[in-house]
Amino acid sequence: MQPQLASFFDPATSTISHVVYDQPGGQAAIIDPVLDYDATSGRIAHGSAGRVLDFIRQQDLSVQWILETHAHADHLSAAAWLQQQAGGRMAIGQGIAQVQQLFKGIFNLGDDFPCDGSQFDHLFADGEVFPIGRLTARAWFVPGHTPADMAYQIGDMVFVGDTLFMPDVGSARCDFPGGNAAMLYQSVQKLLSLPDDTRLLMCHDYPPPTRPIAWQSTVAEQKQHNIHLHGGISQSEFVALRQARDATLDLPQLILPAIQVNIRAGQLPAAENNGVRYLKIPLDML
């Protein structure tokens, strides 16, 4: 059975959220939904996730899964909000525990913040097979961008998260806490060993001015044309290139708000005694 796909581009964060489902009226997985957050005003909104929800309702889909490829640093996750609206089990890879541990110190989250991934409904092991309605999916560990990145293989498609970008953009940075360029190289080799016509679905696109937004390529296209990871580039060449580039990059604008929400599986911090929720900004930590 061929999976059905609908993809939603969020222009504010250049994120692509995906809905994969077996058939109209059937079961769906939502991958990497975005919660709108305005950093200037501190306002949360549900425009991006609302478009996903509208589609779910139009197609009469039951949400079986809300999948995160990793703890994103560039946007807040709408997983918790979408779960409230439409149900489904929130899942990420087992490596999230390591990411929670890394950031617990930075945000001084205290002993009531568990670092075992229990904020999620399910943690995938490497290679774990799971159903999406009548479809069969498989979760893969693809660490490197962060220690906990996952890819989800569903039919002839693989949702690669931030492991690969479109061939003319290359790869994601590996300089966040726990990131590792050599690990990313190994993860990409795993993905590029799949059949040439495997479709690879991106989580982001930052296109050059000469082309429109895109989010789908193939293993063959990546092997031929990826500017950082095409066939023939050695691990040491990639690591040198990646580290040199990472040294020039500013931190993502939303890294501090995003990480503290995303390691809570998209839950906002509890309200204080005045009923208001607050995010924390650690000074001089990153």
Rounded to an integer, what distance in angstroms lies between the CA atom of residue 284 and that of residue 46? Answer: 31
Residue listed under structure tokens 């489902």 = 21
Q: To the nearest 10°, the Cα dihedral for 197, 200, 201, 206? A: -110
Between residues 26 and 257, which has the closer beta carbon with respect to Fe ion? Answer: 257
Let me know how many helices (H) and strands (E) the chain has, helices first: 7, 15
In the complex, minimum distance from the CB of residue 15 to Fe ion, in angstroms, rounded to a whole number? 9
In the complex, minimum distance from the CB of residue 23 to Fe ion, in angstroms, rounded to a whole number? 31
Between residues 68 and 162, which has the closer beta carbon with respect to Fe ion? Answer: 162
245 contact partners, CB below 8 Å, separation of at least 6: 173
For residue 57, give both structure tokens: 């309702």
In the complex, minimum distance from the CB of residue 202 to Fe ion, in angstroms, rounded to a whole number? 11
Exposed, middle or buried by CB within 10 Å (0-12, 13-18, 19+), for 166?
A: buried
In the complex, minimum distance from the CB of residue 20 to Fe ion, in angstroms, rounded to a whole number? 19
Rounded to an integer, what distance in angstroms lies between the CA atom of residue 237 and that of residue 224? Answer: 17
Binding residues for Fe ion, rule: CB under 5 A, are 72, 162
**Which residue sits closest to Fe ion, CB atoms considered?**
162
Between residues 21 and 238, which has the closer beta carbon with respect to Fe ion? Answer: 238
In the complex, minimum distance from the CB of residue 122 to Fe ion, in angstroms, rounded to a whole number? 20
Rounded to an integer, what distance in angstroms lies between the CA atom of residue 201 and that of residue 151? Answer: 10
In the complex, minimum distance from the CB of residue 179 to Fe ion, in angstroms, rounded to a whole number? 10
Q: Indicate the residue type of 11.
A: P
Between residues 22 and 162, which has the closer beta carbon with respect to Fe ion? Answer: 162
Rounded to an integer, what distance in angstroms lies between the CA atom of residue 90 and that of residue 119? Answer: 9
Between residues 50 and 252, which has the closer beta carbon with respect to Fe ion? Answer: 252
In the complex, minimum distance from the CB of residue 145 to Fe ion, in angstroms, rounded to a whole number? 6
CA 67, 71, 75, 77 dihedral sign is: positive
Between residues 58 and 253, which has the closer beta carbon with respect to Fe ion? Answer: 253
Between residues 3 and 266, which has the closer beta carbon with respect to Fe ion? Answer: 266
Show the beta-strand stretches assigned E in the chain: 4-10, 15-21, 27-31, 34-38, 43-45, 62-67, 76-77, 89-93, 122-124, 129-132, 135-141, 150-154, 157-161, 199-202, 216-218
In the complex, minimum distance from the CB of residue 84 to Fe ion, in angstroms, rounded to a whole number? 24
Between residues 18 and 72, which has the closer beta carbon with respect to Fe ion? Answer: 72
CB 192 within 8 A of CB 220: no
